[in-house]
């Protein structure tokens, strides 16, 4: 177990598997369950690290693949690690690039047992990612939590393809552990298997035999139906250890986060809140709204009267409408502040509900108010 890294489960909801706890890391202790803002290139788009702290952010993500291309992992290492590089004082996590194996098919060669070669979209140069090289990059970047290099298989995938992919992910996981040299970083294994029940179980059982510090549920939110996403989580969580963190990757919708929490998941991340914000879509306690709609032109009320963020306390819907219609950068910043704080605050409220054994009631109430829909 990495030094100064461990989880404390302080309470489990009496009516579900939802759990409240603390995650201890070298850069501080954070409460679970939590939503983690995504700072792909060592920045959460349009927001400052100081604003993230003010919003109550705990762990913030950065991406190994993107930082390896720009500015290069050695630059980040020379700066003193990713926290010092971007001036974020809290815990951080780096993805391994496994998602890019799935998402950047036009920029990569065929997957081999040794790894994957990517083409830099800017310079055209080639970069080879293997389990060993990825761990080297993540150790240079220096986040508190690093992810094992895996293959995120596409959806749908044939059973034969998925069998081979899962076995490769397990072999790569072992190579990642063998390559790890730093004892001040925690490493998570990533469970794959698509929607094949026996493969999810097999992958989880094989990975949990290994000395990982936590486990992630991978291969969700990659284009499969929502009911399949729910199913993949259900197939995985029962085979993950109770005393280690559980992380559902790439999820930022209320329904999926609440479903994950109900089943015992602790950590979530997604680019969704800032991506929506840059296009004028806002997550509010009454549901999603598109602030560009003409109905908000003369709406001088706060964006969300139930929100305590800087945007909602200081600006009106009419002003946000004006900024976004004029494509002013300040509008995107305000909308991003709101959406990130909305999800962080929702997790704060979920934690209180768990401690009071009323998580299921809370989730039902919130989803009803949010006008539950696909992608909510």
**Residues involved in catalysis:** 95, 269
Evaluate whether 342 touches 376 at the Cβ level (below 8 Å): no
Among candidates 180, 191, 184, which has minimal Cα distance to 235? 191
Evaluate whether 245 touches 218 at the Cβ level (below 8 Å): no
Q: How many CA atoms lie within 13 A of 21 on its CB side?
A: 20
Q: Who's near 134: CB < 8 A, 6+ residues apart?
A: 64, 96, 97, 149, 176
For the stretch 100-126, what's the b/e string if a residue is b when 16 or more beta carbons lie within 10 angstroms of its beta carbon? bbbeeeeebeebeeebbbbeeeeeeee
Cα 22 to Cα 375: distance, rounded to the nearest angstrom: 29
Evaluate whether 197 touches 228 at the Cβ level (below 8 Å): no
Structure tokens at 9: 């489960």
Cα 91 to Cα 243: distance, rounded to the nearest angstrom: 20
Cα 189 to Cα 218: distance, rounded to the nearest angstrom: 9
Residue 29 forms beta bridges with which residues?
24
Handedness of CA 96, 101, 107, 110 (dihedral sign): positive
Q: Who's near 59: CB < 8 A, 6+ residues apart?
A: 23, 25, 30, 34, 36, 90, 91, 92, 93, 144, 145, 267
Q: Residue 95: what are its φ and ψ, rounded to 5°?
A: -70, 160
């Amino acid at each position: 177990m990495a030094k100064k890294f461990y989880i404390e489960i302080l309470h489990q909801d009496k009516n579900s598997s939802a759990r409240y706890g603390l995650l201890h890391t070298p850069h501080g202790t954070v409460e679970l369950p939590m939503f983690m803002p995504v700072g792909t290139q060592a920045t959460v788009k349009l927001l400052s690290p100081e604003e993230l702290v003010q919003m109550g952010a705990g762990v913030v993500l950065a991406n190994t693949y993107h930082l390896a291309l720009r500015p290069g992992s050695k630059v980040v290492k020379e700066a003193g690690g990713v926290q010092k590089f971007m001036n974020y004082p809290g815990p951080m996590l780096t993805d391994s690039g496994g998602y890019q194996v799935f998402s950047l098919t036009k920029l990569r060669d065929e997957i081999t047992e040794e790894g994957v070669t990517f083409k830099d979209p800017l310079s055209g140069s080639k970069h080879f990612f293997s389990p060993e090289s990825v761990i080297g990059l993540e150790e240079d970047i220096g986040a508190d939590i690093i992810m094992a290099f895996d293959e995120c298989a596409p959806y749908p995938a044939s059973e034969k393809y998925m069998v081979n992919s899962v076995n490769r992910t397990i072999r790569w996981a072992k190579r990642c552990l063998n390559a790890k040299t730093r004892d001040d970083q925690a490493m998570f294994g990533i469970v794959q298997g698509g929607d094949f029940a026996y493969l999810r179980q097999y992958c989880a059982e094989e990975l949990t035999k290994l000395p990982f510090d936590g486990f992630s549920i991978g291969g969700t939110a990659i284009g499969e139906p929502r009911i399949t996403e729910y199913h993949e989580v259900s197939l995985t969580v029962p085979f993950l250890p109770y005393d280690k963190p559980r992380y559902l990757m790439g999820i930022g919708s209320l329904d999926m986060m609440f479903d994950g929490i109900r089943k015992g998941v602790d950590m979530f991340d997604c680019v969704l809140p800032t991506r929506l914000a840059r296009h004028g879509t806002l997550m509010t306690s009454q549901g999603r709204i598109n602030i560009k709609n003409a109905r908000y032109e003369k709406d001088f009320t706060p964006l969300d009267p139930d929100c305590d963020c800087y945007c909602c306390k200081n600006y009106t819907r009419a002003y946000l409408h004006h900024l976004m219609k004029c494509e002013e950068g300040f509008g995107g910043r305000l909308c991003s502040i709101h959406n990130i704080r909305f999800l962080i605050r929702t997790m704060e409220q979920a934690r209180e509900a768990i401690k009071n054994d009323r998580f299921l009631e809370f989730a039902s109430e919130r989803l009803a108010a949010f006008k539950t829909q696909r992608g909510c």
